[in-house]
Structure 1
Amino acid sequence: MKQRAEIMTENAVKVLLQTLERNFNDTGIVLDQYEATHDDCECCNSKAYKALVAGHLALKDAIAKINRILNKPNK
């Protein structure tokens, strides 16, 4: 039972990290497209853009923290 829980936890961390990385990449693409089509003033005035930037940075921080805990080098 204990070993099963450990394996499940390791698998969950692996899937979580993959999901965070995929979401980080996807939000990065959206941000790049937004920035390419809007000027700085429009970016600063968009609540949705600022919220996506905040989420994107939170994803980056979460990925880095998980990798640090797992002793994995940054990509």
Structure 2
Amino acid sequence: MDTSPITQLPENRIGPGRPPGLKTQLTSLLLEPELIDWAKRQPEGLSGVVRQLLRVAMESDTGMSKAPGQSNVPRE
């Protein structure tokens, strides 16, 4: 029985993963399967699509622009 730790990522992994230096927090979402499948096929993957949509919604709601890894900066 091999007890060595797994060091390689699965080859079927979709998306580039978390952007380096981005502070994140694990959360769960309940979504329809067809939305999940579509989002996983996007260049940024499911998490990237969710981040992008939430940023757009936050900017339209608050009038603030937030670049990844930066603090809020008022739009001019």
**For this structure pair, what is the TM-score category when the shorter chain's length is used for normalisation?**
0.3 to 0.5
Structure-1-length-normalised TM-score:
0.34
Q: Which has the higher contact order (CA 8 A, sep 6+)?
A: 1
Structure-2-length-normalised TM-score:
0.33
Higher percent of residues as helix: 1
